[in-house]
Amino acid sequence: MKKYSRQRLAPILASLAALPPFAIDAYLPALPRIGEYFSTDIQVVEASISIFLLGLALGQIIGAPMSDRYGRKPMAMSGLAIFGVASLLILVSDSADQFLVLRFVQALGAGTAVVNVGAVVSDLFEPQDAARTFNAIGAITVLAPLVAPVIGAALLEFFDWRSVFVFLLLYCAGLAWFMASKLPETVAKNGPRDGSLIGQALRGFVQVFRRTEAMGYALCMGFSMGCMFVFLTDSAFVYMDQFGVSPRVFTVLFGANIASIWACNRLNRQLLKTIEASRIIPAACAVQLASSTLFWVHVTTMEPSLYFVVPLLMISIGTLGLLVGNCVACFLAHFPKIRGTASGVSGSLQFALGGVLGTVIGIVHDGTLATTGAGMCLSALVANVALTFARTAPEIREQTPAAS
Q: What is the pLDDT of residue 193?
A: 55
Tell me the pLDDT tens digit for each residue of 11-27: 888 888 889 988 987 88
Beta carbons of 222 and 350 less than 8 angstroms apart: yes
Kindly give, in sequence order, each residue whose CB lies less than 8 Å from that of residue 292, ignoring residues fewer than 6 positions away: 227, 312, 316, 373, 376, 377, 379, 380
- How much of the chain, in percent, has pLDDT values that exceed 90? 27
Burial of 157: CB neighbours in 10 Å, binned 0-12, 13-18, 19+: exposed
Of 273 and 287, the one with more pLDDT: 287
Of 292 and 136, the one with more pLDDT: 292
Domains in the chain (CATH in brackets) are 1-186 (1.20.1250.20), 204-393 (1.20.1250.20)
Beta carbons of 355 and 54 less than 8 angstroms apart: yes
398 SS3 class? coil
Kindly give, in sequence order, each residue whose CB lies less than 8 Å from that of residue 170, ignoring residues fewer than 6 positions away: none
For residue 346, give Cα distances in angstroms to 121, 161, 339. Answer: 14, 33, 10
Q: Which of 42-51, 147-156, 300-309 is most confident? A: 300-309
What does pLDDT average to over the chain? 82
Please report the DSSP string for 162-175 in residue order: HHHHHHHHHHHHHH
Tell me the pLDDT tens digit for each residue of 349-362: 877 777 677 667 76
pLDDT of 106 strictly over 50: yes
Centroid of chain to Cα 110: 11
Number of H helices, E strands in the chain: 17, 0
**Whole-number Å distance between alpha carbons of 221 and 256:** 21
Q: What is the mean pLDDT of residues 54-73?
A: 83
Q: What is the mean pLDDT of residues 222-240?
A: 79
Q: What is the pLDDT of residue 200?
A: 67
**Whole-number Å distance between alpha carbons of 380 and 288:** 6
Q: What is the pLDDT of residue 89?
A: 95
Q: What is the mean pLDDT of residues 67-73?
A: 81
Of 323 and 395, the one with more pLDDT: 323
Of 265 and 403, the one with more pLDDT: 265
Give which of 117, 95, 14, 114 is closest to 48, Cα–Cα: 95
Q: What is the pLDDT of residue 88?
A: 95
Q: What is the pLDDT of residue 62?
A: 85
Tell me the pLDDT tens digit for each residue of 244-283: 877 667 778 878 888 898 899 889 989 988 888 889 999 9
Tell me the pLDDT tens digit for each residue of 75-88: 999 999 999 999 99
Q: What is the mean pLDDT of residues 127-136?
A: 78
- How much of the chain, in percent, has pLDDT values that exceed 70? 89
Tell me the pLDDT tens digit for each residue of 184-228: 777 765 445 555 667 766 777 777 778 888 889 989 988 998 888
Q: What is the mean pLDDT of residues 368-379?
A: 89
Of 320 and 5, the one with more pLDDT: 320
Q: Which of 118-132, 259-273, 278-292 is most confident? A: 278-292
pLDDT of 397 strictly over 70: no
**Whole-number Å distance between alpha carbons of 8 and 238:** 40
**Whole-number Å distance between alpha carbons of 273 and 270:** 6
Q: What is the pLDDT of residue 394?
A: 61
Q: Which of 135-139, 179-183, 327-331 has the lowest mean pLDDT?
A: 135-139
In this prediction, residue 3 has a pLDDT band, given cuts at 50, 70 and 90, of low
Q: What is the dihedral of CA 324, 325, 326, 331, to 10 degrees?
A: 90
Of 156 and 293, the one with more pLDDT: 293
Residue type at 324 in one-letter notation: V
pLDDT of 396 strictly over 50: no
Q: What is the pLDDT of residue 110?
A: 93
Q: What is the pLDDT of residue 247?
A: 64
